[in-house]
Amino acid sequence: MRRLLGATVAIFLLSAGSTTDAQTIDEGVAKFQGGDFTGALGDLMPFAEGGSSIAQLFIAVMYANGLGTVQDNVSAVNWLYRAAEQEHAEAQYYLAQMVERGQGAEEDFAEASRWYGRAAQSGYAPAQFNLGSMHERGAGVDWDPAEAAVWYRRAAEQDHVEAQISLGMLYATGQGVAQHLGDAMIWYRRAADQGSALGQYYLGSMYENGEGVDANEATAASWYRAAAEQGYVQAQFKLATIYSLGQGVTRDHGEAADWYRRAAEQGHAGAQANLAMMYVRGQGLPRDYIEAVQWLRRAAGQGFARAQFNLGVMHAAGQGFAQDHAEAAVWYRLAAEQGHSLAQYNLAHLYFDGNGVDRDLVLAHVWADLAAANGHADGVTLRDAAAGQLSDSDVSLAQEIARMCLERGYQGCGL
């Protein structure tokens, strides 16, 4: 709530009462801005109790943030309510936020939407955006993308960045408005021109894919870079991939590795896995299996199937570890249970050979069959090889297990 202070001061200068009162409230505001919250509370409380909506808003801020007093959301809501009833748009907006989140009042989306509506009607852009969001989600109001678009547009026309992005997304998907990629581009660009990393990222995507504009890989790369340099992790990952492939930029594995690392350090599992494989291959980085393993483990710990599969490969090959097919089987299974066809095939091979696991031709048949179903060309060959050593009843059993495995999303496959 503290970000409203600049606007609050400006409103105060226009709306305070007598010169003496204005000077006194101004002194309270100055104390607040100087960090003397106890003094500010003392100066402003009499005016808040006297009905000044500006003072009430400041008092609410102090209670909500525990500034100069014990943090107390209930008191914050009470002061916001008093200011909101005087049609103070910012107070109405912050009251709606607290009610929506159940802070200091019972969570009530309908009540929140009512207060957003009152502030929105007075032209307050953040409230217009939030009201649009509630219509888009059907939270406290009827689900109505068309109404969401109306409110997003009102806020977007006031250069509210999130509203511009949301309106662009509605145009991109045809929700609440007729689909029009050109209009989506317009709104994304307005947000991007204000420095929105998300707007820049979406613009990059549209230039990359030729959506609403002629495809242009170089322009796409420039927008991705603008977003990436602001720390937007998806753009960092995308820019790394662009450098890795040489799409719209000169191919540069070192640059790719740098951007993968930036995204990886923010926890992006795909970037962690890709950075690891650059260490494995020595692309843009010195070959380093130990470093690769560290990044693969971080991605695998997030359930990223490709990283789990590659950890299995490295255990099987003895890269960064002593060779250990049993450990490889553990990682292959984790990836296989997420539908990773290569992991399914490799796991089937371990069962076929009895390598790291007890030899089990039924399970070899099951996992090879699943790998084939997921497009692995050699899965059929391995499945048939297992079938050639099984009885007809065991082949039928394997087929039934595979069918049940598919229905269960690859969970509990023969264990």
Q: What is residue 145's predicted lDDT score, i.e. its pLDDT?
A: 97
- Give a yes or no: residue 219 inside a domain: no
State both tokens at 300.
């695998």
Distance of CA 268 to the CA centre of its chain: 11
Whether residue 199 is predicted with pLDDT greater than 80 in this model: the reply is yes
Residue 150: helix, strand or coil by DSSP?
A: helix
The mean pLDDT of the chain is 93
Per-residue pLDDT tens for 259-289?
A: 999 999 999 999 999 999 999 999 999 999 9
Lowest-pLDDT choice from 12-16, 177-181, 188-192, 312-316: 12-16
pLDDT digits (tens, 9 = 90+) for 334-344: 999 999 999 99
Q: Quick one: pLDDT at residue 412?
A: 78
Tokens at 267, concatenated: 């926890």
What would the pLDDT profile of 382-402 be if each residue is shown by its tens digit?
Answer: 999 999 999 999 999 999 999
Q: Which residues contact 229 (CB under 8 A, 6 or more apart)?
A: none
Question: 375: Cβ–Cβ under 8 A, 6 or more apart, which residues?
Answer: 341
**Once rounded to an integer, what is the mean pLDDT over residues 79-103?**
97
pLDDT of residue 19 exceeding 70: no
Q: Kindly report the CA angle at 29 between 27 and 35, in degrees rounded to 5?
A: 105
| Torsion over CA: 290, 296, 297, 298 (sign) | positive
Question: What ranges in 85-210 are assigned the alpha helix state H?
Answer: 89-101, 109-121, 125-137, 145-156, 161-173, 181-193, 197-209
Per-residue pLDDT band at 11 (split at 50, 70, 90): very low
The predicted-structure confidence for 150-193, as pLDDT tens digits, reads as follows 999 999 999 999 999 999 999 999 999 999 999 999 999 999 99
> Is residue 360 one of the residues assigned to a domain?
yes
Among 62, 54, 46, CA closest to 15: 54
Residues contacting 112, CB < 8 A, separation 6+: 96, 97, 99, 100, 134, 140
Q: What is the pLDDT of residue 9?
A: 40
pLDDT in tens, 147-156: 999 999 999 9
Cβ atoms 356, 326 nearer than 8 A: yes
Q: How do residues 201-248 score in pLDDT, each as one tens digit? A: 999 999 999 999 999 999 999 999 999 999 999 999 999 999 999 999
Q: Is residue 276 part of a domain?
A: no
Write b or e for each residue in 90-107: b if 16 or more Cβ atoms lie within 10 A of its Cβ, otherwise e: bbbbbbbbbbbeeebbee
329 belongs to a structural domain: yes
Triad 403, 385, 370: Cα angle to 5°: 25
- Domain total in the chain: 1
Q: How much is the CA Rg of the chain, to the nearest whole Å?
A: 30
pLDDT band at 21 (very low <50, low <70, confident <90, very high): low
Each residue's pLDDT tens digit, 117-133: 999 999 999 999 999 99
Q: What are 26's two structure tokens? A: 């101004």
pLDDT on residue 40: 95
Instruction: Place 413 in a pLDDT band, splitting at 50, 70 and 90.
Output: confident
Confidence of residue 10 (pLDDT cuts 50, 70, 90): very low
Tell me how far apart the alpha carbons of residues 124 and 52 are, in angstroms, rounded to a whole number: 20
CA distances from 57 to 77, 85, 86, 95, 247 (A): 10, 12, 11, 10, 52
pLDDT the model gives residue 316 = 96
Residue 350 lies in a domain: yes
pLDDT value at 1 more than 60: no
Q: Containing H/E element for 70?
A: none
Is pLDDT above 90 for 5?
A: no
Q: 331 and 323 in contact (C-beta within 8 Å)?
A: no
- With respect to residue 348, please indicate whether it lies within any of the assigned structural domains: yes
pTM for this entry? 0.86
Is 304 inside a domain boundary?
no
Q: Is residue 377 part of a domain?
A: yes
- Tens-digit pLDDT profile for residues 285-309: 999 999 999 999 999 999 999 999 9
CB distance 364 to 400 below 8 Å: no
- Residues 349-392: pLDDT tens digits? 999 999 999 999 999 999 999 999 999 999 999 999 999 999 99
| pLDDT bracket for residue 102 (50, 70, 90) | very high
What percent of the chain clears pLDDT 70, i.e. is strictly above it?
A: 94
pLDDT tier, 411 (very low <50, low <70, confident <90, very high otherwise): confident
Does position 3 have pLDDT exceeding 50, yes or no? no
pLDDT band at residue 17 using 50, 70 and 90 as cut-offs: very low
Its domain, for residue 393, covers 321-415
